[in-house]
Amino acid sequence: MHREERSSRRVTLIVEGRIIGEWADVLEDECLDLIRSGYDVALDLTGVVYVGRRGVEALDRLVRIGTTITNCPPLIADLLEGEGIKTGRKKAERSDRIVPWRRGDDSDA
């Protein structure tokens, strides 16, 4: 995770790798500390390759309190949006195709 200050009140955290287990907690704690300090926080998820259950839960809580998600890879964005988490993805970037695991289909995705 790298910190990039966009302005005196805006910080972007560039997240890479996997958001799982204790790392999800570390990310959430860092965001909460910044928010308590008066910063608007954005999470750049360009380098994220996997989000586990604790990561989804942490991102959900963070978005609910005003953290924004940017540059989310399409597969990660599909996962998060499927959980009701806003990713900042434009409608034109969304896939309207049916995803097998959302249909209850037993086939491999």
Torsion of CA 41, 73, 61, 21, to 10 degrees: -110
Q: What's residue 7's pLDDT?
A: 73
Every domain of the chain and the residues it spans? 2-88
- Contact between 55 and 85 under an 8 Å Cβ cutoff? The reply is no
- Contact between 68 and 80 under an 8 Å Cβ cutoff? The reply is no
- Contact between 48 and 74 under an 8 Å Cβ cutoff? The reply is no
Query: In degrees, to the nearest 5, what angle opens at C-alpha 83 toward C-alphas 5 and 25?
Result: 50
Mean of the per-residue pLDDT values for the chain?
86
pTM of the entire predicted model: 0.81
pLDDT at 87 over 60: yes
Does domain 2-88 correspond to CATH entry 2.40.50.100? no
Q: What is the pLDDT of residues 22-62, one digit of tens each?
A: 999 999 999 999 999 999 999 999 999 999 999 999 999 99
